């Protein structure tokens, strides 16, 4: 069964409606000078002395040159940040991911071409709005060993999306209503495959 995990910044108001918590503690995420490089290397599993490379199934990008290296992807994200917007305040990127339940995970793991198609077409949603995006599919089996900090917990199959916060068409920053954007993504996803829920990664 699928489930929806609400990000920590989503709270319920007095009427029971989900609203975005405006407190500043969430606004510092991904603002430092190395945010772009760090998160792109994280999702593509290309960090120095990478210990989790075997979890990577594939990665790709839109809004960068074809067959770009990781370094070129990072530089092109930074180029848009420098040249498409005078103000460089706020988050430099947004990091979202889709998680598949066990049934759909098994289907896609047995049909990697369909998983690649799904990942690419869902990344197009961001690109068609004018945002560069790097995406990467990971499969993390259940970890029940003594060293696991999440004993008995499986991240399973999921796709990360690293989205540049600056629009390469008009230089505007990403402004989004999470609920509205999620509904539009779900509508487009349903044309590809019955979609999983979206997770906004904020820890």
Q: Which residues pair with 11 in a beta bridge?
A: 19
Given this model, what pLDDT does residue 50 score?
80
Sign of CA dihedral 173, 116, 109, 114: positive
DSSP state, 166? Answer: B
Q: How far apart are CA 64 and CA 132, in angstroms?
A: 7
- Ordered by start, the domain boundaries in the chain are 34-144+161-200
Averaged pLDDT, 63-81:
92
Q: How far apart are CA 44 and CA 134, in angstroms?
A: 9
pLDDT of 188 higher than 90: no
Given this model, what pLDDT does residue 200 score?
45
Please state the pTM of the whole predicted model.
Answer: 0.73
DSSP state, 124? Answer: H
Given this model, what pLDDT does residue 26 score?
42
Question: Is 41:47 a contact under the CB 8 Å cutoff?
Answer: yes
DSSP state, 188? Answer: H
What are the residue ranges of helices labelled H in the chain?
A: 35-43, 70-83, 102-109, 112-128, 178-189
Of these ranges, 29-38, 97-106, 137-146, 161-170, the one predicted with the greatest mean pLDDT is 161-170
Query: Phi, psi at residue 127, to the nearest 5°?
Result: -60, -40
Given this model, what pLDDT does residue 20 score?
45
């Amino acid at each position: 069964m699928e489930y929806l995990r609400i990000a920590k910044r989503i709270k319920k108001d007095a009427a029971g409606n989900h609203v975005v918590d405006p407190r500043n503690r969430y606004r510092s995420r991904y603002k430092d000078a190395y945010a772009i490089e760090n998160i792109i290397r994280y999702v593509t599993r290309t960090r120095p002395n990478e210990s989790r490379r075997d979890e990577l199934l594939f990665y790709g990008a839109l809004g960068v040159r074809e067959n770009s290296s990781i370094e070129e992807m990072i530089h092109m994200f930074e180029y848009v940040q420098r040249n498409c917007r005078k103000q460089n305040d706020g988050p430099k990127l947004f990091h979202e991911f889709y998680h598949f339940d066990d049934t759909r995970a098994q289907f896609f793991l047995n049909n990697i071409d369909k998983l690649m198609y799904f990942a690419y077409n869902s990344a197009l949603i961001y690109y068609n709005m004018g945002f560069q995006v790097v995406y990467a599919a990971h499969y993390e089996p259940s970890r029940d060993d003594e060293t696991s900090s999440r004993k008995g917990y499986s991240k399973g199959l999921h796709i990360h999306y690293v989205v540049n916060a600056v629009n390469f068409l008009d230089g505007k920053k990403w402004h989004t209503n999470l609920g509205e954007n999620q509904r539009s993504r779900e509508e487009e996803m349903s044309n590809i495959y019955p979609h999983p829920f979206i997770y906004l990664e904020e820890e």
